[in-house]
Amino acid sequence: MLLEEAIRTRRSIGKVKPDPVDRALIEQLIEAATWAPNHHGTEPWKFIVMTGEGRRTLGEGYARVTAESLHDLDGKALEERLEKERAKALRAPVVIAVVCTPSDSPRVTPIEELAAAHTAVQNLLLTAHALGLGAVWRSGDPMYHPLMHEAFGLGENEKLVALVYLGYPDLTAPIGKRQPAASKTVWLEG
């Protein structure tokens, strides 16, 4: 698949088959991710790959974050709700947590470290698509919660930037739509 085709045809695939994904393919995705641009060559990323029972770390993170806000439930109702949260981690055979691990160099601008980690996710997603895999970049409030960071054992300066759910597609990708690039472009010429 040519790069431009991969860029134009990649879509978020939230429904994937339960079939396992070969470890070599996952390693290929992560290798592609590590070639993302990064200022000062800091490579500010880390990948936590969860398969099988390993996904339970994420599920427990979801449950702990939710439990903190559920003051009106108890007993069976609470446990059922927490089990639904735990099940979120099982929606794909592979979940990759992408972490920004910023450099402590005084030359580094923290927001650029986050930008680099985000570009690593884009490389990972494009490579997954080119290899026939389906993936969706999930985030949301639970991902940023301190209890989720604790579940993954993240350091004080580390940040989760993506939860990439990955597997073989179990749906037809929708056709993408974008506004013309010219409508989003300003030329400053002299």
Question: Each residue's pLDDT tens digit in the chain (190 positions)?
Answer: 888 999 999 999 999 999 999 999 999 999 999 999 999 999 999 999 999 999 999 999 999 999 998 878 778 888 899 999 999 999 999 999 999 999 999 999 999 999 999 999 999 999 999 999 999 999 999 999 999 999 999 999 999 999 999 999 999 988 999 999 999 999 999 8
Of residues 137, 112, 95, the one with CA closest to residue 45: 112
Binding residues for FMN: 10-12, 39, 137-139
pLDDT value of position 73 = 76
3-184: CATH topology is NADH Oxidase (3.40.109)
Contacts of 137 (CB under 8 A, 6+ apart): 12, 121, 125, 162, 163, 164
Long-range CB contacts (< 8 A, 24+ apart) of 17-26?
Answer: 17/93, 17/167, 17/168, 17/169, 17/170, 18/93, 18/167, 19/93, 19/167, 19/168, 20/51, 20/93, 21/51, 21/93, 21/94, 21/133, 21/166, 21/167, 21/168, 25/131, 25/133, 26/94, 26/96, 26/166
pLDDT value of position 2 = 87
- Taking each helix axis from N to C terminus, what angle separates 110-130 and 23-33, rounded to the nearest 10 degrees? 140
Residue 174: phi and psi, rounded to 5, are -70, 160
Binding residues: 10-12, 39, 137-139
pTM: 0.94
Q: Residue 128 and residue 153: Cα distance in Å, rounded?
A: 27
